[in-house]
Amino acid sequence: MKTIIVGVPGGGKTTVLEKAKKKLPNYETIKFGTKMLETAKKQRIAENRDQIRKLSPEKIKELQRKTMKKIKQKENLLVDTHLAVETPKGIVPGMPKWAIEKTNLDRIILIEGEPEEIKKRRKKDKTRKRDDFQLPPKQHQEINRYYAATVSTITSSPIQIIKNKPNKAEEAAEKLVKTIKNNEK
């Protein structure tokens, strides 16, 4: 693995990433969660994300391990993932130490939205229940930074913070592309 791209639900990470991909033809983007779900479906232990979130920590860890293994070989990979996942059991680390040590991570990119904008987007999203979000977006984004500092220390990876301002996804994408190309040199 090379780069992880992280952001809270509703922060605009997916939109920014879509726009950036057009200018990064040599990079493959994968959603860590989607890869995990594929594996879970094959094993017939979960049919959707909600069922994954309810699996035992051991089962989740096993799914993470298998997904990690699949993506480890690939170069030029942008992994769309989470550092701090809200679950009924609390905030679960998306990149725990055992998982980081199995990858060759060399870059952490945080995409941060405006808290008020995030709240609006979440209200519109009918696939999520209101109960899914206990943490105010501002705090959740701060907690992402705490985890990022830990992962950065363990892996020696730099952290790039990209602000996704309302109606400025294009600008954020531009900065994302620049960051990735800057790191190539």
Is residue 161 within a helix (H) or strand (E), and if so which, with residue range? strand 159-164
* CB closer to its own copies, 15 vs 183: 183
Calpha distance 54→46 (Å, rounded): 9
- Interface residue with its own copies among 160, 164, 169, 176 (CB under 8 A) is 160
In whole angstroms, the minimum distance from the beta carbon of 183 to its own copies comes to 5
Calpha distance 63→42 (Å, rounded): 11
In whole angstroms, the minimum distance from the beta carbon of 60 to its own copies comes to 9
Closest to 110 measured CA to CA, from 146, 166, 151, 163: 163
CA-angle at 13, arms to 12 and 16, nearest 5°? 85
Confirm or reject binding of residue 91 to its own copies (CB under 8 A).
yes
In whole angstroms, the minimum distance from the beta carbon of 155 to its own copies comes to 8
* CB closer to its own copies, 120 vs 139: 139
Closest to 39 measured CA to CA, from 60, 9, 14, 53: 60
- Interface residue with its own copies among 62, 106, 171, 174 (CB under 8 A) is 106
Q: Which residues bind its own copies (CB under 8 A)?
A: 57, 61, 84, 87-93, 95-98, 100, 106-109, 135, 143, 145-161, 179, 182-183
